[in-house]
């Protein structure tokens, strides 16, 4: 099956009302390649950013506020990675990693999460444009993968049982395909009664979690498998599975000459002159897309 005729750079939502569960499936391709191509990342860093972008697409696509933004950022201590930041807004993804090349060279070919981040932390921030609300949760970067850290975030910060699975594949042609599964037990209950989602041993969730855990990472990263097929494979015996809206995903860096100029305009004349070169030009380099913007001071 040709990859041009199937779902790629898409997020698909679904719900299982009888099990009080919701989910998202994501498949990334050219969008992932575009983001990764902005920097010549070594394989371990490239794989880490691919996983992070897939996670941001999964969680960000659940936002009900279409103009809202999800940002995922790490804070690290003595690890290879100095900074990882990715965000999602309106179906657009961007991200980059700063890392210590010497520490990476001394690390194993496939470094552990601890080797990459040391005593690191993961911060997930939701900015809601419609209401102006902003909230953030921070959890330690424990476990073996970023996906496990995201699961911990939802359990610890929001008390919502969550399952995340990620698969990333890099073809012999250098192109990437990444897929992700995101499952959650929905908050429910009434005032004065126990909220079911605080019960991590709820039978309905245990059933959905067990089914979701059977999803193979190779299936998630298989561009020949439509997303609805994956939903069907997992939950075809359920009484009611509802497919929700799709979201088209794309690389979206918000740097433009006008935006950069507006940021620089907030500095004083003396500050701008100190930033300029001998020709009176301030060269701004966007860390996300590696584009350089020459702005007259």
pLDDT for 24-44, tens place per residue? 999 999 999 999 998 999 999
Neighbouring C-beta atoms of residue 232, cutoff 10 Å? 12
Q: Do 172 and 288 sit in the same domain of this protein?
A: no
What mean pLDDT is predicted for residues 161-182? Answer: 94
**Smallest Cα–Cα separation from 29: which of 173, 146, 182, 215?**
173
43-101, pLDDT tens digit by residue? 999 999 999 999 999 999 998 888 889 999 998 888 899 999 999 999 999 999 999 99
Instruction: Give pLDDT, residue 33.
Output: 95
Q: Do 50 and 157 sit in the same domain of this protein?
A: yes
Q: Do 83 and 29 sit in the same domain of this protein?
A: yes
- Does 292 or 108 have the greater pLDDT score? 108
CATH number of the structural domain spanning residue 206: 3.55.30.10
The pair of three-digit structure tokens given for residue 111, joined into one six-digit string: 């470094």
Q: How far is residue 89's CA from residue 150's CA, in Å, rounded to a whole number?
A: 18
What mean pLDDT is predicted for residues 148-173? Answer: 91
If pLDDT is split at 50, 70 and 90, which confidence band does 200 have? low
- 3-state DSSP assignment of residue 263: helix
Q: Do 21 and 123 sit in the same domain of this protein?
A: yes
If pLDDT is split at 50, 70 and 90, which confidence band does 1 have? very low
Residue 201 above 70 pLDDT?
Answer: no
Instruction: Give pLDDT, residue 294.
Output: 75
**Smallest Cα–Cα separation from 116: which of 134, 126, 103?**
103
Q: Do 247 and 264 sit in the same domain of this protein?
A: no
Q: Which domain holds residue 286?
A: 257-296
Q: Do 18 and 98 sit in the same domain of this protein?
A: yes
Q: Do 292 and 220 sit in the same domain of this protein?
A: no
- Does 294 or 109 have the greater pLDDT score? 109
Q: Do 156 and 68 sit in the same domain of this protein?
A: yes
Residue 83 Cα distances to 50, 77, 86, 92, 105, angstroms: 15, 10, 10, 20, 17
**Smallest Cα–Cα separation from 163: which of 226, 225, 205?**
205
**Smallest Cα–Cα separation from 146: which of 112, 179, 170?**
112
Q: Do 246 and 263 sit in the same domain of this protein?
A: no
Residue 190 above 60 pLDDT?
Answer: no
Residue 193 above 60 pLDDT?
Answer: no
If pLDDT is split at 50, 70 and 90, which confidence band does 187 have? low
The pair of three-digit structure tokens given for residue 291, joined into one six-digit string: 């584009």
- 109 CB burial (10 A radius; 0-12, 13-18, 19+): exposed
**Smallest Cα–Cα separation from 230: which of 62, 53, 12?**
12
If pLDDT is split at 50, 70 and 90, which confidence band does 191 have? very low
Q: Do 232 and 276 sit in the same domain of this protein?
A: no
Q: Do 93 and 220 sit in the same domain of this protein?
A: yes
Q: Do 239 and 264 sit in the same domain of this protein?
A: no
DSSP 8-state secondary structure symbol assigned to residue 73:
E
Q: Percent of the chain at pLDDT above 90?
A: 54
Q: How far is residue 155's CA from residue 191's CA, in Å, rounded to a whole number?
A: 21
Q: How many domains does the chain have?
A: 2
Q: How far is residue 20's CA from residue 204's CA, in Å, rounded to a whole number?
A: 7
Average pLDDT, the chain: 86
């Amino acid at each position: 099956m040709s990859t041009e005729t199937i779902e790629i750079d898409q997020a698909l939502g679904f719900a299982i009302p009888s099990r009080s569960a919701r989910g998202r499936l994501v498949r990334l391709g050219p969008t992932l390649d575009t983001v990764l191509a902005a920097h010549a990342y070594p394989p371990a860093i490239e794989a880490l950013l691919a996983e992070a972008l897939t996670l941001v697409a999964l969680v960000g696509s659940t936002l009900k506020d279409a103009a809202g933004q999800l940002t995922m950022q790490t804070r690290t201590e003595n690890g290879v990675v100095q900074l990882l930041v990715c965000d999602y807004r309106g179906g657009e993804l961007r991200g980059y990693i700063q890392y210590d090349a010497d520490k990476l060279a001394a690390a194993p070919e496939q470094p552990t999460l601890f080797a990459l981040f040391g005593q690191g932390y993961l911060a997930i921030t939701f900015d809601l444009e419609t209401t102006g609300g902003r909230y953030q949760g921070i959890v330690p970067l424990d476990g073996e993968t970023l996906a496990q850290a995201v699961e911990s975030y939802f359990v610890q910060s929001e008390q919502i049982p969550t399952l995340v699975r990620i698969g990333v594949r890099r073809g012999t042609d250098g192109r990437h395909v990444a897929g992700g599964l995101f499952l959650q037990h929905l908050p429910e209950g009434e005032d004065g009664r126990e909220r079911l989602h605080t019960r991590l041993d709820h039978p309905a969730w245990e059933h959905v979690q067990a089914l979701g855990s059977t999803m193979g990472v190779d299936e998630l990263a298989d561009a020949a498998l439509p997303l609805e097929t994956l939903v069907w494979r997992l939950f075809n015996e359920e009484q009611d599975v509802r497919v929700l809206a799709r979201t088209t995903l794309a690389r979206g860096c918000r740097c433009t000459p006008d935006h950069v100029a507006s940021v620089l305009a907030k500095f004083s004349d003396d500050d701008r002159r100190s930033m300029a070169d001998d020709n009176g030009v301030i060269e701004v380099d966007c860390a996300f897309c590696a584009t350089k913007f020459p702005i007259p001071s």
